[in-house]
Amino acid sequence: MSLELFSLAGKTALITGSSRGLGRAFAEGLAAAGATVILNGTNSERLSQACKEMSDAGMKVDMSLFDVTDEAAIRAAFDRFDAAGTQIDILINNAGIQFRKPMLELDTADWQRVIDTNLTSAFMIGREAAKRMVKRGHGKIVNIGSLTSELARATVAPYTVAKGGIKMLTKAMAAEWGEYGLQANAIGPGYMLTDMNEALTSNPEFDAWVKARTPARRWGRPDELIGTAIYLCSDASNYVNGQIIYADGGMISVL
């Protein structure tokens, strides 16, 4: 048995929401494992900058600008991949937003926007990728869940519901696509040091709560998710399907 099992050499990975945060960490990690990575986002300037930085660092990288909630744009992106002969071997459905407000005050439009971005997008993009992966008899889909895939926190209901849905969508993907040689799994990050959580990390009470509630007694860094991502995107996990792996410093395992 060699570490070749974890190599992504010759593979192409599409990572949604990857110009910054967790998505950028996944992109750099998979590139370091040998993959060609395709960055995705909706901000052309930020995406181009990320692409340049990674290319200048010697990584094999490309970019695909599309809104993960726009079905026509998703289909057009995959048509472009087909026309260019680009085979998406790995999909990481990472794109997501957060919107913190108590449900009694929450507008339905804001609820729907979070569900569309964090959950329905993973279905739509997963479907387009799987249509092609099924024909080839192999493919890896990694959906990004959350601690809120299991536990609810007040004021983040749409995010929680979407991430709970991500856990079950992952199982549904395994149920329907496992027989065609695809593996669909999920990663459940803990409280990570990202832009999305800036309002929390800069709140002394919340910061203290995270550190007291987490066995590791600290926030996680985006790069600490890379090993789990490489494992789930590589041949090392070919008999793992429908699972969610929590990289959360132990938080979800303790009261």
Residues 73-102 that bind ligand GCO (CB under 6 A): 98, 100
* Residues that are catalytic: 159
Alpha-carbon distance of 136 to 95, in angstroms, equals 25
Q: Enumerate long-range contacts of 63-70, CB under 8 Å, 24 or more apart.
A: 63/38, 63/39, 64/14, 64/38, 64/39, 64/40, 65/40, 65/41, 66/40, 66/42, 67/42, 68/16, 68/17, 68/40, 68/95, 68/117, 68/121, 68/124, 68/125, 69/113, 69/116, 69/117, 69/120, 69/121
Q: How far is the CB of 179 from ligand GCO (least distance, A)?
A: 31
Stretch that binds ligand GCO, among 104-112, 135-143, 195-203, 223-231 (CB under 6 A): 195-203
Interaction pattern, residues 128-157, with ligand GCO; x per rule: CB under 6 A: ------------------xxx----x--x-
Smallest distance from the beta carbon of 78 to ligand GCO, in angstroms?
A: 28
Long-range pairs of 199-208 with CB within 8 A, sequence gap ≥ 24: 199/100
- For ligand GCO (CB under 6 A), the number of binding residues is 14
- What is the closest distance, in whole angstroms, from the C-beta atom of residue 159 to ligand GCO in the complex? 6
Least distance between ligand GCO and beta carbon 81 (Å): 29
Which residues of this chain interact with ligand GCO, rule CB under 6 A?
98, 100, 146-148, 153, 156, 159, 189-191, 196-197, 200
